[in-house]
Amino acid sequence: MTSYNHDQVLSHWENNEVESMYDKTLLSAEIELIRNRILESSKILDAGCGEGEGTLAYAAIPHVQIHAADFSETRLQKAKDRLRGHDNVLFKKVDFVNDYKLDHDYDFVVCQRFLINITDWEIQKKILLNLMSLLKQGGKLIMLEGYVQGVDALNEIRAEWGLPDIPVQWHNLFFDDNKLLPFMKQQGFSLIEEDGLGTYFLLTRGIRPTLQDNLNWDSPFNKAAATNAVKDMLGFRDKFSRLKLWLFEK
């Protein structure tokens, strides 16, 4: 685990040149996993909304109201530009590490690769509790975050094919099921569902590198690997997946 430097992480995301996800096929698959679990007429907090790619998809769900929050002015401006004209989205600058004020009646709180930027488990736990407190009773937290067990499984199979490990970036701390699940259960929150993108990761980060040297993200191979038909056929879900979806209920 790296030591957590809040200012350093903020500076990273304030850099206009930093791209949060180069693999746009993967990004679309992430957003679809989340969007499929949000109900119509919901009030949503998009916590750590970043550039608003996910926010844009959720805003198209009928009769939803969204509060999109991030600690970076740069990311918020990109999100505002992307969502110009969507009057069902309210933007808020929020630093979830420090004190803030938000509503306490959300149906869904969404965290998409947000909490992994907090490289301290104790602070991650504090933020998780705060986010759960913003939900109405019966509300749901949709986490799609980095996943330790998925990283390990993918790197193990890459090693069998002579491929190097894919490291976790310096500003990320991925979630370990052996810590996360007992903690959330102890707090009285129910785990409703788990899912992932294991099929996509295995095909694009495990198998394709053994076949091709040019691993451009925008490729027919990657697009096919992200289809629901391929996902359902192989069914790896969170196995081999560097990202996992957890659905917790208050």
How does pLDDT run across 126-157, given as a tens digit for each residue?
999 999 999 999 999 999 999 999 999 999 99
CATH of the domain at 243: 3.40.50.150
Among the listed residues 146, 38, 30, 49, the one whose alpha carbon sits nearest the alpha carbon of residue 89: 49
What does pTM read for this prediction?
A: 0.94
Distances in whole angstroms, Cα of residue 64 to Cα of each of 51, 67, 176? 19, 10, 32
Let me know if residue 231 belongs to a domain: no
Give the range of the structural domain holding residue 15, as residue numbers without chain letter. Answer: 6-151+168-198+237-249
How many domains does the structure of the chain reveal? 1
In a domain, 97, yes or no: yes
Q: How far is CA 71 from CA 50, 95, 100, 127, 145, in A?
A: 9, 5, 11, 14, 18
With respect to residue 228, please indicate whether it lies within any of the assigned structural domains.
no
Q: What are phi and psi of 110, to 5 degrees?
A: -110, 130
Residue 162 domain flag: no
| Mean pLDDT to the nearest integer, 83-104 | 96
Residue 159 in any domain: the answer is no
pLDDT classification of 74: cutoffs 50, 70, 90: very high
Nearest to 125 by CA among 193, 183, 192, 186: 183
**What is the per-residue pLDDT across 1-41, written as a single tens digit (0 to 9) for each?**
457 888 888 787 788 777 778 899 999 999 999 999 999 99
- Please indicate, yes or no, if residue 218 is contained in any of the structural domains: no
DSSP codes of every residue in 106-165: EEEEEEES-GGG---HHHHHHHHHHHHHTEEEEEEEEEEEEBHHHHHHHHHHHHHTTPPP
Nearest residue to 240 via CA among 118, 156, 128 = 156
Residue with tokens 């965290």: 111
What pLDDT is stored for residue 1 in this prediction?
A: 43
Taking the C-alpha atoms of residue 156 and residue 177, their distance in angstroms, rounded to an integer, is: 18
Is 224 part of any domain?
no
> Would you say residue 226 lies in a domain?
no
Residue pair 82/51 in contact (Cβ under 8 Å)? The answer is yes
Cα atoms in the Cβ-side hemisphere of radius 13 Å centred on 201: 25
Backbone φ, ψ for residue 2 (5° rounding):
-85, 150
Paired with 111 in beta bridges are 47, 143
